[in-house]
Structure 1
């Protein structure tokens, strides 16, 4: 595709604020207005989802912006039905922009007679007529292989690196901490970006959601610890890990999480914990209690997603957005001088 002249955005109900911010950023990048396609996505009395697209989308390069966050099933069905509506309206190409990919934690069989729901969702997305997927920090990299269509998986770590360099005075005393062994690669990548040390919290679970024992591997005494992970759900493990780091002599404990699911008692746990700050992206639209929480901060991913959408439409590199050197000019308004 030669140019983004026929590019159009459409949003579901999962995160309309993010969709609007992406459109605004794209307007700045292109130097001309980018508006969301006029459509209605609503429910009948029996909760069936209905979609009607008012604008002409024939031969257009369509991007559906829709996280499959809570309520995951409703938002997933919205995405599928919107894709079907666009396909039947003769859209040239349909790209699903899924900042938070739900069901990603069910990426393998953990015991006998359990599903691999992430693969099922990938099949549904493909069968709905979607040609490409753009997402952010998949829970497991192998989910890209569940699709038979191209998948671009962006990373929050370069944005986090810019935020850390902007907000922390001395990076020499910073240690990046992985909250489990499985997240070491993610933590190591961020540590490398900011030239910091690395530690690991080894946890053993008796059953899903219940942690029996936690051990710190690495030196954290008198260090500013930054826990990095992709998902924070009920925040139980995160708060326990933060408390353990403080017990081991950490000066401060902060956390950078790509997707703030923050369900149930999460906000209360975080606000009453030893965490000095929790930073999440706006991949999931947060309710008022999260926005108002004293130690929770939200960083935007709209600038990066907007540039990625333009790159896809223009047929240029998306992987160029994996580094903070490329993102620094894009985030200049948020982190001046970094």
Structure 2
């Protein structure tokens, strides 16, 4: 591309090189280093006057260093009289902090959007924002691309009997993403809900049979399909039988019921007034940022949908922590009869030992992510269940169309391509 330069940061050089190869361009010359006191130093090694500059820098495990590197690169291009500066962030950093979850909290994603604008960015290209409303944080144009067509194509080519598969949302907040993918593939979808309120109350009902042997008898009692709603208990992050009791619960069983009644009474008089509209719905309950709490507390997991003897495809925008994915896979396979479980996401963040825990689960058959977030070659070799899909063609095409002033509506109306 003439009159353009593509600069690649140190967060994800592999993806940056793939984008340059797709564009038939060479990486712009720049020196990225650190001073002895830890400050980031950036030096542009060629003229960018009246050029369109594209800076590729994704989120990574060293997220704060790479954010500063991105901001300084943008400012350096602005200081070099670049015509237009586009920040390409396949995984937008701090995207989980896009809403205020507690009093005196910060909407960090909005602050980062303001920093990019203040540094001199004229345009932002990203992919599958954690919340689509984040586009309103920017005062400059933003293109929020979708990995849907790439993931759907992989499913069609690699999932056996994909036409009979079911796309599953592991929390209510992801249903829009899941239904869009299900509509594109023209297959069914289901939803999982994890109850954070009734942690120790698990009423038995005909809608939650404990075994498949009882399903036919219960189906005779209820004309509604008993396979449509299934519940189970989660203890220490894993699905257990209804009659399971922790080892130390026997001596305190009576007192635990009293405590439950006491806390329920306290909750009824205090928690309900904490919501501005007087409701009792936990707005953060549709997400799983507090994965440590998810593992520690006993909860109830409910699947609304039918995955029996089908492939369950659990879809989310990112895989950061393992708890909710492992529990969802166990519930689909153990209690709901799924013959195989695929975990699919755009961003493979894999914090701490997340990848190892999900891969070690016998109920997870495959883990599919794109390369928006850097994943080491060692991890790809170590975990045979992991598949990393190259997303550079969509990013490169967006850059090319943007440079030549062409419409990119086809990249937004992505499911028309399938």
SS of match in other structure, 1:41 = strand
Match of residue 389 from structure 2: 299
Alignment check: 8 A CA contact 1:252 1:276 kept: yes
Q: Which digits, 9 at most, give the CA deviation of each residue in 1:284-330, with x for residues without a partner?
A: 110234212110000011011000000111111222123557767xx
Please list, as runs of the form range in 1=range in 2, the aligned pairs for 1:169-184 lying within 5 A after superposition: 169-184=160-175
Match of residue 37 from structure 1: 28
Alignment check: 8 A CA contact 1:60 1:91 kept: yes
SS of match in other structure, 1:305 = helix
Match of residue 214 from structure 1: 301
Alignment check: 8 A CA contact 1:159 1:327 kept: no
Does 1:252 find its partner at 2:340?
Answer: yes
Match of residue 30 from structure 1: none
Alignment check: 8 A CA contact 2:370 2:389 kept: yes
Match of residue 358 from structure 2: 270
Q: Which moved more, 1:213-222 or 1:79-88?
A: 213-222
Alignment check: 8 A CA contact 2:319 2:349 kept: yes
Paired with 1:185 and 1:244, the residues of 2 have a C-alpha distance of 21
Paired with 1:47 and 1:196, the residues of 2 have a C-alpha distance of 52
SS of match in other structure, 2:153 = helix
Does 1:156 find its partner at 2:151?
Answer: no
Paired with 1:218 and 1:298, the residues of 2 have a C-alpha distance of 28
Does 1:88 find its partner at 2:88?
Answer: no
Alignment check: 8 A CA contact 1:14 1:285 kept: yes
Alignment check: 8 A CA contact 2:148 2:415 kept: no
Count of matched residue pairs: 319
Please list, as runs of the form range in 1=range in 2, the aligned pairs for 1:211-250 lying within 5 A after superposition: 211=294, 212-247=299-334, 248-250=336-338
Does 1:286 find its partner at 2:277?
Answer: no
Paired with 1:21 and 1:112, the residues of 2 have a C-alpha distance of 43
Unaligned 5+ runs, structure 2? 198-288
Q: Which digits, 9 at most, give the CA deviation of each residue in 1:26-70, with x for residues without a partner?
A: 11xxxxxx1010111111121110001111111100000001222
- Give the deviation of 1:85 after TM superposition: 0.5
- Give the deviation of 1:263 after TM superposition: 1.2
Distance 1:49 1:134, change over 3 A: same
Distance 1:327 1:310, change over 3 A: farther
SS of match in other structure, 1:219 = coil
Residue of 318, 321, 334 corresponding to 2:411? 321
Divergent runs of 4+, >6 A = none
Alignment check: 8 A CA contact 1:161 1:324 kept: no
Paired with 1:163 and 1:51, the residues of 2 have a C-alpha distance of 38
When normalised by structure 1's length, the TM-score is: 0.91
Alignment check: 8 A CA contact 1:178 1:201 kept: yes
Distance 1:205 1:84, change over 3 A: farther
- Give the deviation of 1:108 after TM superposition: 1.0
Q: Which moved more, 1:161-170 or 1:114-123?
A: 161-170
Q: Which moved more, 1:69-78 or 1:55-64?
A: 69-78
Alignment check: 8 A CA contact 2:359 2:367 kept: no
Paired with 1:121 and 1:243, the residues of 2 have a C-alpha distance of 37
Paired with 2:117 and 2:414, the residues of 1 have a C-alpha distance of 32
Residue of 5, 15, 18 corresponding to 1:8? 5
Paired with 2:360 and 2:409, the residues of 1 have a C-alpha distance of 39
Unaligned 5+ runs, structure 1? 28-33, 329-338
Match of residue 133 from structure 1: 124
